[in-house]
Structure 1
Amino acid sequence: MTQSIVVQVGQCGNQIGCRFWDLALREHAAVNKQGVYDEPLSSFFRNVDSRYDDPANIPVGSGKGKVKSLKARAVLVDMEEGVVSEMMKGPLREVFDFRQHITDVSGSGNNWAVGHKMYGPQYREQLSDVIRRAAEFCDCLQCFFVIHSMGGGTGSGVGTYILNLLEEEYPDVYRFVTSVYPSAEDDVITSPYNSVLAMRELTEHADCVLPVENQALAEIVNKISQAIPSSKTGKRTYGTNLGSEVKHGTAISTGDGGMSKVKDERPFDTMNNIVANLLLNLTSSARFEGSLNVDLNEITMNLVPFPRLHYLVASQAPLYALNDVNLPPRRLDQMFSDAFSRDHQLIRADPKRSLYLACALMVRGGVELSDIRRNIDRLKPKLNFIHWNTEGWKTGLCSVPPVGQPYSLLTLANNTCVVNTFTDLRDRFTRLYKRKAHLHHYTHVDTMEMEDFAQSLESLNSIVADYSQLQQQMGQPSNPQPRLKVV
């Protein structure tokens, strides 16, 4: 069994990460009712025996058997300590290792340069140490998941600095990045600068990037709230019925501090749940059995035909948050149709009107392979695949569904529609950059040069041009006739 480490950076990254770990515990609790430390748990959690603090001193086989104390394979980083401190005092405090987080007090001031050029080098040794410590607890480290936002200073700056560090020190370990892009109405004026500067690093140093737009999440939340009867939109109760399904007294039961019981809805909770569910569905094959499990390295192998074009558009069905699980499930075929509609995309785009380079279907729950094939055959005529990869489908089937659902579907598409997000970001960047507005806040940071802006814009233009050039191939025949050479 392989293991993965989640690196949560900045306020947004840590809030999403906290939701991921909470929901992951619920999924494992629903399946592992005896509280036994098994291979599915070991993929993202380690079983800690308090008698041994140093991994080198733990006897062989001591991690097996009953759960002693689960610790998330997580690294928490934020240059403003508020969110991490809240997590370390909250209901999941026992899940996080206090030696696996790094915080400061002043924050990065919504400035990529402060995060990347100042805090990154300043904390490099500590970052390297905590990541190495997390890696030493892994028998077979396969992947790093980096969660961060693009608009702030720490998420964009320190987050991409860590990405570079991971590539340098663990070049053979896959790097998946979930990046939350700011909306046009973002209250951080400099977010276009931060996002474009960060995008250059993502393009150069990530294996796969899953862009998520704040505006798309907000629109999805509005659709959810409109679809739910008003009687179901009050306080959210967490862990409903799980306590009766899990053996009490284990670290993954609701009675042992592993999961929160009841708490009020907080701002962005529902939006964070949607992104956390994206990560749950993406990692389901690594955490549970399935008749057609997809290894994480297969995603990059099948969905990234060109190294720099590794931005994957995600959509999922159902979009229900935790308080929606009592709603009747959609029909299976409708779930597939939903996942390919623009209303279910995690960026504002319509992939049906753009060109697919490749597509993955990550299915969970009571679904047969024949169901997947039937829906591919049904949807395929409505989708535009590039002419040299018309069979570019990757399918996965995990037997364990999300808690409260009979089945779910995550689609990951390498689709040219992502260029819309990038051009909107470029336009917002250009409006500021043409007037040299706020640039002095960046150039006052040591080693930050105006050239960094020019190179980042050039990198973004290159990505836009590459996707746009591929988009021009839409509508070409699937089997073009070879050109005859005239002698």
Structure 2
Amino acid sequence: MTQSIVIQVGQCGNQIGCRFWDLALQEHAQYSKLGSKDDSWKSFFRHSKSDGLSDNLSESIKARAVLVDMEEGVINQVLKGPLSKLLDQKQLLTDVSGAGNNWATGHLHFGMQYRDRLEECVRHAAEQCDCLQCFFLFHSLGGGTGSGVGTSILLLLQDNYPDIYRFVTAVYPSADDDVVTSPYNAVLAMHQLTEHADCVLPFENQALMDITTKFGNMKEKTDQNPYDNMNDIVGKMLLNITSSSRFEGALNVDLNEIATNLVPFPRMHYLVSSQTPLSPEGSRIPIRKLDQLFTDVFLREYQMIKADPRNSLYLSCALICRGKIELSDLRRNVDRLRPSLNFIHWNTEGWKTGLCSVAPVGQQQALVALSNNTCIHHSMQNLKDRFLKLYRRKAHIHHYTSVDGMDDDQFSHSLESLSSLIQDYNSLESGSLPSVAAPIIIAN
């Protein structure tokens, strides 16, 4: 059995991570009540000698998690809450000063200052694994800790664990983000994600906000703020993506199969994601019919970025189904949808499908779509435009170059990396190959 380690960095990364652990505990608690003896929950949890955590699980457990933040607030709040016993104190790292919304401070200053301690936190988590398969990195790109320390940890993982898959969940800032330097932080971080991650799952703040506005009003009452709802969406997406490694299924998708099947070019590993249902718990809308769920995950309003994949080119696509869905249902819907989706000519059969028999808590079925689609270049171009609006005026550059090890070349190299990536996706959309090696086509 393989294991995965979640590394949550910064305020956003830790809030998403804690929502993921809360939801995962709910699922495994319900699953154990069904009398199952399966130990697949050990892929994200491990046995602990400490006092018991949950009445629903026969043994106390610890999350395979590393929590990092250069401010203490969020992690201290977590340690005062119900998840405190789930966390191993040896895998927590905090500071008090914060990274000042500055990628250079996070990446070059704190990344270097805490490298030994970060290595020790990750090493302690890795030593608890029998067969470590994957690191999940949760962070945002708009602030200084998530973007800077997060990408510093990514480099650490590549150096120390080069054969372990690195999946990154990256939350992108919106155009009206309250951090004026967020375009700098995001582009500087993206250069690192492009070079050193195996897969990146982008979540745009604006897309998440639109989803909570559209689907959140179906619930009669809610005392949650928008960010709680947005974190809930991301947490559920990660829960569904990892379901195959936590529960049994007729056609489970291993995490390494996502990278193997959906990434035909090494740098072009940004996956557009969507999921359904999106209605909050407690909403009174009628249950969607199964075929409608398959239609929904390809609609624009269900995407985690502000783009419509149906109007662009699919390089590959994965469907991960949960609950009462038969293989015949899956094949029927793939055949039904295939004619309406534009797949690249050298990979017209580029589907990866998975069936996990355990549905999320409170739902009969759930469906996730992950696609490598050229529509991602629109989001990248918008980010580039916001970056250039600042960079052409050299606005706030001195805050970055005053950090030891940072110079203006970092900006130009990161901008060049992003421009090259945009051009690669544009080239594929126009019918020519990108400026990378020939694709590797994996049979389903």
TM-score by length of 1: 0.86
Q: Which amino acid aligns with 1:159?
A: G
- Identify which of 218, 234, 238 aligns with 2:209: 218
Question: Equivalent residue for 1:14?
Answer: 14
Alignment of 1:47-58 (within 5 A): 47-50=47-50
SS in 2 for 1:143: strand
SS in 1 for 2:346: coil
Deviation at 1:39, TM superposition (A): 1.7
Q: Does 1:290 align with 2:290?
A: no
For 1:373 and 1:473, locate their aligned partners in 2 and report how far apart those are by CA, in whole Å. 29
Alignment of 1:17-416 (within 5 A): 17-33=17-33, 38-50=38-50, 67-228=58-219, 230=220, 233-235=221-223, 265-324=224-283, 327-416=285-374
Q: Is the 8 A contact 1:117 1:448 kept in 2?
A: yes
Q: Is the 8 A contact 2:44 2:64 kept in 1?
A: yes
Q: Does 1:431 align with 2:431?
A: no
Deviation at 1:38, TM superposition (A): 4.7
Task: Show CA shifts across 1:267-322 (max 9, x none).
Answer: 51110000001100110000000000001111111100000000000000111233
Q: Which moved more, 1:90-99 or 1:16-25?
A: 90-99
Question: Equivalent residue for 1:251?
Answer: none
Deviation at 1:98, TM superposition (A): 1.7
Q: Is the 8 A contact 2:209 2:226 kept in 1?
A: no
Deviation at 1:323, TM superposition (A): 3.9
Q: Which amino acid aligns with 2:68?
A: V
Q: Which amino acid aligns with 1:311?
A: Y
Q: Is the 8 A contact 2:216 2:279 kept in 1?
A: no
Q: Unaligned stretches of 5+ in structure 1? A: 52-65, 236-264, 475-487
Deviation at 1:34, TM superposition (A): 7.3
Question: Equivalent residue for 1:254?
Answer: none
- Identify which of 418, 437, 440 aligns with 2:398: 440
Q: Which amino acid aligns with 1:122?
A: Q
Deviation at 1:47, TM superposition (A): 1.1
For 2:37 and 2:111, locate their aligned partners in 1 and report how far apart those are by CA, in whole Å. 36
TM-score by length of 2: 0.94
Deviation at 1:177, TM superposition (A): 0.2
Q: Is the 8 A contact 1:157 1:194 kept in 2?
A: yes
Q: Which amino acid aligns with 2:215?
A: I
Q: Is the 8 A contact 1:273 1:321 kept in 2?
A: no
| Structure having the higher Rg | 1
Q: Unaligned stretches of 5+ in structure 2? A: 52-56, 433-444
Q: Which amino acid aligns with 2:118?
A: L
For 1:336 and 1:38, locate their aligned partners in 2 and report how far apart those are by CA, in whole Å. 29
Deviation at 1:41, TM superposition (A): 1.8
For 2:297 and 2:372, locate their aligned partners in 1 and report how far apart those are by CA, in whole Å. 14
For 1:214 and 1:461, locate their aligned partners in 2 and report how far apart those are by CA, in whole Å. 22
For 1:323 and 1:279, locate their aligned partners in 2 and report how far apart those are by CA, in whole Å. 21
Question: Equivalent residue for 1:63?
Answer: none
Q: Which amino acid aligns with 2:222?
A: G
Q: Is the 8 A contact 1:76 1:101 kept in 2?
A: yes
Task: Show CA shifts across 1:144-164 (max 9, x none).
Answer: 000000000000000000001
Deviation at 1:49, TM superposition (A): 1.6
Residues 35 and 371 of structure 1, relative CA distance in 2, 3 Å threshold: closer
For 1:424 and 1:35, locate their aligned partners in 2 and report how far apart those are by CA, in whole Å. 50
Q: Which amino acid aligns with 2:231?
A: N
For 2:49 and 2:285, locate their aligned partners in 1 and report how far apart those are by CA, in whole Å. 41
For 1:50 and 1:37, locate their aligned partners in 2 and report how far apart those are by CA, in whole Å. 22
Q: Is the 8 A contact 1:213 1:348 kept in 2?
A: yes
Deviation at 1:68, TM superposition (A): 2.9
For 2:34 and 2:127, locate their aligned partners in 1 and report how far apart those are by CA, in whole Å. 28
Q: Is the 8 A contact 2:204 2:305 kept in 1?
A: yes
SS in 2 for 1:91: coil
Deviation at 1:100, TM superposition (A): 1.0
Question: Equivalent residue for 2:411?
Answer: 453
Q: Which amino acid aligns with 2:119?
A: S
Deviation at 1:225, TM superposition (A): 2.5
